[in-house]
Amino acid sequence: MSESRLNDLIGSGVAATMLLLLAQSGATQPADGRITYAKHVAPILQEKCQICHQPNSIAPMSLLTYEQARQFAPLIKYKVERKIMPPWHLDTSVGIQEFKDNRGLSDEQIETIVGWVDSGAPFGDERDLPPLATFPDPNRWQLADEFGEPDLIVRSEPYTLAAETQDKWFRPVVETGLTEARWVRAIEMKPSYPDGRQIIHHSLAFLEQDEPELVGLASTAAGAQQTAGLFMEWAVGKVGEIFPPDTGKLMLPGSKIRWEVHMHAIGHEVKHNQLELGVYFYPKGYVPKNRTILKYFDASGGSNLDIRPGEIAVTQQFHVLPAPARLENFQPHMHMRGKAMSIEAIYPDGRNELLSHVDNFQWNWHNNYVYAEHVAPLLPKGTTVVVTAWHDNTADNPNNPDPEQWVGWGDRTVDEMAHAWVDVTYLEQDDFDAQVAARTTND
């Protein structure tokens, strides 16, 4: 059965049809000791799925109970087997594999779920059920668990989106109200709940300031050129950014946030949609050693992106680091025809290293793959960062709205993009050398 047909069944809520699909699979009730919901599957759903699959959250159906999970068992198998859900679309066979935010399933967990569905989705012994999981308010500040409430909250102007309309972009500029220079250790962005999460494709927050960000910076070419820049990017699948210890961004008095909000209609009017930007500061007077810049690493040459009908296109761009740096994350950004993206490092001595490869890009999830601190790439000055993107404009791509359409670069969802958002922490040479030496010693 096709993915689109299964998704149609979700939308219609035809539980009996889903049960019929399960019956037609030829599955029978397994013997005792086989995989069961209570003992094996429920813990996986609690750990990896239920945070989204619960009432009033962003998923299309709830998976809090056995009855709910069994109803959608064929769809769960389909999504899990193809590594579409949970949304972790990284190639696990190459590159760096240790991340701070890994929400993917292990091969063993995938086999468990598939085996459970194939054996008839049995419940098992009620005594094996784990305690019911409790989940925090989805509208709370997610980083408050670690940092408390934000020190500064900046709100966009509200916007009402019609039930049926073309994609909209909203670009208000608002004052931060900041009266003194402060260094930022974490940032979070959240749309209004719940409809804002459904209509926003992504949002950018640009920090506009009257002075260059020179206080306490590493004295590199990269740190001394910007008076304003991208502060935070949000898309479905991303919460915020936590900067490594002794690293941050500087906000100055009188600074402003220039919003860029990309929205799409969902069939009913959404009134007064608003985004909030939560900023967490270092203590007053504290100046971190290093500065992090959110970089736009293009793979397509911008407006040069040109994808023929029925074609799988490959584009690639090169970016030379002007100073020693540590890459904190990898976040591919493409639209409906996006297929895969990789990031590589070509070192000054000619060595080549594949850092990460997303081989199963899903346009409606813009995952941010945040490297664990002990494996975040340390790249010397002069390293070339290579970003390669693949777009599938064929009929085989289930997300492709029109495989006969010639596609170029553009802001609309039906257009295409190809870039990666990467937090780059520029380092002084002695700090870079010390971090490289520390890793060598630990190895």
In sequence order, what DSSP letters do the residues of 44-98 get, joined into one string? HHHHHTTTTSSTTSSSSS--SSHHHHHHTHHHHHHHHHTT-SSS--B-TTSS---
Contact call for residues 60 and 10 (beta carbons, < 8 A): yes
Residue 3, pLDDT score:
42
Q: Report the DSSP beta bridge partners of residue 184.
A: 249, 281
161-288 carries CATH number 3.40.50.300: no
Q: Could you tell me the two tokens for 221?
A: 């070419």
Note the pLDDT of residue 443.
Answer: 65
Count Cβ neighbours within 10 Å for each residue of 311-322 and write b for 16 or more, e otherwise.
Answer: bbbebebebebe
Distance, first Cα to last Cα, the chain: 48
Question: What is the structure's pLDDT at 175?
Answer: 96
pLDDT score recorded for residue 381: 97
CA dist 274 → 155, 189, 264, 267, 404 (Å): 7, 11, 14, 19, 37
Count helices and strands (H / E) in the chain: 9, 24
**What DSSP character marks residue 409?**
B
pLDDT at 14: 35
Residue length of the chain: 443
Global pTM value: 0.80
**pLDDT reported for residue 412:** 84
Q: Mapping DSSP to helix (H, G, I), strand (E, B) and coil, where does residue 296 land?
A: strand
**R_g of the chain computed on alpha carbons:** 23
CA dihedral 333, 336, 337, 341 (to 10 degrees): 20
Distance CA 217, CA 289 (A): 7
What's the topology of domain 290-443?
Jelly Rolls (2.60.120)
pLDDT at 32: 54
Tell me what pLDDT residue 181 has.
92
Q: DSSP strand E in 334-383: where?
A: 338-346, 352-358, 369-370, 378-379
Q: CATH 2.60.120.310 region(s) of the chain?
A: 161-288
pLDDT for residue 237 = 67
Using CB atoms within 10 Å of the CB of residue 188, give its burial: 0 to 12 exposed, 13 to 18 middle, 19+ buried.
buried
β pairing state of 384-392 and 352-358? unpaired
> pLDDT 10s per residue in the chain (443 long)?
334 434 444 443 333 334 334 443 433 344 455 899 999 999 999 999 998 898 877 788 999 999 999 999 999 999 999 999 999 999 999 999 999 888 899 999 999 999 999 999 999 999 999 999 888 777 789 899 899 999 999 999 999 999 999 889 999 999 999 999 999 999 999 888 777 778 888 899 999 987 554 433 443 334 433 345 789 888 776 788 899 888 999 999 999 999 999 998 889 999 988 999 999 999 999 999 998 888 999 999 877 889 999 999 999 999 999 999 999 999 999 999 999 999 999 999 999 999 999 999 998 888 889 999 999 999 999 999 999 999 999 999 999 999 999 999 988 888 999 999 999 999 999 999 999 999 988 76
Please give the pLDDT value at position 33. 59
What is residue 146's three-state secondary structure? helix
- CATH 2.60.120.230 maps onto the chain at 290-443
Sequence-separated (6 or more) residues with CB below 8 Å from residue 433: none
